Structure 1
Amino acid sequence: MPFPEIELADSAEFARTPLPRVLIALHRAKYNGSLVLHNGRQQRRFVFQAGSPVLSESNLASDSLAAHLREQRLISAEGYPPVLDYARKREVSEGAALLALRILEPVQLFHALREQIRDRLVDSMRWQKGRYELAPTGEENLDIEPLGWDLPPLIHRALADHWTVDRLLNSLSPRLLLYPRMGPGFARAVQRLELSPDHRSHMAALHETRSVSESLGAGLTATPVLAALWVLDSLGTLDFAEAPPERRQDEVLTEFDAEIELALVDGDGSEKVDEVPANEAPSQLCTETETLRLKIQTLRAGLGTLDHYQLLDVSPKLKSAAIKKAYIEAAKRYHPDVLARLGLQDIKTEASEVFSQLTQAFDVLSNPEMREAYDAEQRGELSGSDAQILAQAETTYRKGEILLRMGDFGGALRYLESAVKIWPDEGVYRSALGWALYKQPCPDPKAAREHLTSAVELSPGDPVAHFRLGMVLRALGESQTAQNLLDRAKQLEPQSD
């Protein structure tokens, strides 16, 4: 179920087709022609060639070449009037005047014009109101091709800067509970985006055996990660299924990019071909295989006694990023299907148990709340059963929270009710459940009030709980109490809304 090609109307409102979606469609269609954007009295025009913006015009004073050059400190405000005077008298462009007056070198003007295209386009993606118009030409001008920009990185940057987490989650909601499958262009597309190492690792965590939300984990709250998923999905580099694939007995994951053939001569003179990693000799591979076998058997024997940190071979002092790196390395080393590649099929059952425990350990340690509960249990502050219950409640709550952010309040209720039932003394759970009850298609403000009142009592310093209770009480007609709660929310968190 890849993202389909987008059929654009010649003109439409941004409310119907957001500008990033328009740009993705033009990129995929290798569009030649103009794109005119209107937002009230503001107007910008972009010329596209083979799906890339190569020229731009604007009626905004802040978009002028003079303003851009002043911002880049390439010219002063006093130095630009002679440029305009020269351009008017000679009937040439401002760029030609800048070159003729030797104020800029050609390479400086080239970069300034390119950056002007980029800045105008990225800023336009803030517009939620307005419309676009297309005027295809079908022609190409090779002289202006070098000015073009690669659109996906620009779209990713604009989404990460201008769209909220909630808006991205709402747009991605049909995908989050599905199982991703990476297409042949996925890795290359990821490399084109400007992602930090931590955000890039979230993309690497996508796997067909886990839903998107399970794969991304904490990345669901990071706009660069969600923006990257939006772009990669829209480019058609991802496919999605409603269930994970059934593993075949003979299916293996190849962890080596390069292989060579080692030809051995049998007694009858025929060649016997074995494949080994290009950088490893047979004897070295044999030694490492036996070492790996021993390591798996040792881990399997200690599953009942090793804690999560010992399983992942990390220090309890390490941060989440380092733990994630350790898990990825362990997953590459101990995955049962990878071991089949090394001829270790006979310990596949043991490896599966080890891998399952490694994944469980990472799930706990990569979640701040679950890790805190686990550490408390290790210190003897919580019983094992309490920690297990708390971890279950937190996992259930996270699923409900995702649906809550996506605006699926009815769908969130099932998970949030379960979380509150498991751990009723957690104010955040009560707050989320109360809000879902209030915002669902058939609101239940009285039940919402009960849970939100408990949330405020359990978490008196939580501005969100105060704000939500205030909104519910306002709907119930208790205006003065509602206003007091809303004022208190502002005191606790000035940015609360």
Structure 2
Amino acid sequence: MFPTPSQVLRQREGTLEDTPFPLLLHSLMVEERTCTLELKVRQREKRIVFEDGSPVGCQSNLLHETLGKFLVEKGKLTEVDYQKALAESISSGLQMGALLIQKGLISPFDLYKQLQANLAHKLLDCFRWTDAKYRLIADVDSPDASVRMNTGQLILTGVANVMPFDAVATHFTFTDERRFGQMPGVDAGLKLSSKDARLFQALRQRPTFNELMERTSFDTETVLRRLYALCLLEVAGFVEDVDERAAKLAAAAPAPAPEPVVVPAEAPAPAAPQPQGTPFSDEDVAARDALVSAFLAHRSKDPFTLLEVPEDVQPVPLRKAFFALADRHSPLRFQTPELREKAESLLAAYAKAFGALSDAEQNLLWRKRRAAQREKERGTTRPSTAEQFRIRTDLLDATTQFEEAKRRLQARNYAGAFEYFEYACDIDPKPLYQAHRAFARYLMKPEAHGRLALQELQEVVRQEPGMEEGWAFLGEVAQGEGQWAVAEDAFRKAFKLNPKNRRYVELIQEIVKRR
């Protein structure tokens, strides 16, 4: 059905038109690769870092995907606080996240959640880059923050909601008589939505595609998207592949062991005493934030900084520092899987650092690295604030493109406006930008682009029914195309969203007279 992961990764570079993004993600996950995936399309660039097949970081040249702008967009940070923090981050060299925690603008726990959401947002955006070029790079710049994505969940969400449908239909083809089923013995660790679960359960009946649509009552697009993702993740497949896998599992299964002879005991053994210790810290906000803060920062620290010891530390103080930190963030103090997993990762990092500093050769190596870094910092001239701001403003900003496009639209430069609305949509495909792009496309050449603009605007208002501009543009284009019923309905919806605009009433009255 799909090429094997080794076949996909044999080619170090190519295009997402030939090798779609979800196929690349799945191949890197199965092969457990640690590498960097570079994506480029026109002016946009992203570098995704993978560790053991899981995305752990993504650098992007899109302004709205930076942490500060993302927090403003989500209402977690005001624009004023963002601008102040940005200026201070540039002048001090502190990372934005650490600075926000330091100023009390966000808690470590909330920051971790937003870092996860920001990474997911950056990666899901890549599913629409179907015309991008990609390159696999062996070098990895490990991100400072300890955030990791579930690749399987990312593939399911991206294919079901973001990837253009024509790309799905192009890369997932089969004949009408082919039947599908659930693949045995595969656990992708997926959290299925109600739609996903309903479709997955229907696969038990081994249906054809048309039967799957009938049993779920879903449309073609909904079924094809989810079926493509589930088959790519190998939790579903053609029935012949399902049967072949089931036969292999049955052949590999060990013979059942004979039942042991049970000898009744004279008396039941006493119950093991329950451990008596510190109560769980999950509900302790201070303890939880301290754990998450340490977890977020530990990747960027060397062994000395991580264990909070000087370079000339002796064995006894080193051991005491290790035990103190291991106890402070002990996994036994946390009950929820999410917090316990972070505590276990920290404990492993502390143990690794302790082992490195306990070894004379590694200890010397780390001290030499520190000395070299200090020399480098002394010989490096720090860029001025103005220079750093110039570097930051090289990021692609959709808002700037959108404002320039609106100025051109007001000046009746429709081709120029369309070009800049296209840039804005490339950077950030908001429905508002898409609505303006469709309207500019129509004004540029009404006789040629009317039908396409109408389709685009109908899709926009379906996605964003509360957008006044979308309905107003739809009314204008439908009126120009002679679709009076559609135009009247659109203007009525625009008027309902903004009753103060009496122009909608005049347009509706004109249409009623004409009809």
Q: What is the TM-score when the length of structure 2 is the normalising length?
A: 0.43
